[in-house]
Amino acid sequence: MPGMMQEFALLVHRVLGHAARWHGARPVLSRSVEGPLHRRDYATVNRRARFRGYAFPDTAS
């Protein structure tokens, strides 16, 4: 569409890839339902998400 500021769709994997590339060592904190705090960095989150993405191939047709 002409006039858009970006030439690509803003998708989660692109945002996560950017964060992993430019801010890879920054911590990402999350808390599970049970209560413990989980600490990882963006590079690890991106690697784990991409690995898990291969387990669920795109089935939308």
Q: For residue 51, what are the CA distances in angstroms to 5, 6, 45? A: 31, 27, 10
pLDDT at residue 61, rounded to an integer: 46
Domain boundaries, the chain: 12-55
Determine the 3-state secondary structure of 8 from DSSP.
coil
Q: What angle do the packed helices 42-55 and 12-23 form, to 10 degrees?
A: 140
Determine the 3-state secondary structure of 40 from DSSP.
strand
- The average confidence (pLDDT) of the chain is 86
pLDDT in tens, 17-36: 999 999 999 999 999 899 99
- Percent of the chain having pLDDT more than 70? 87
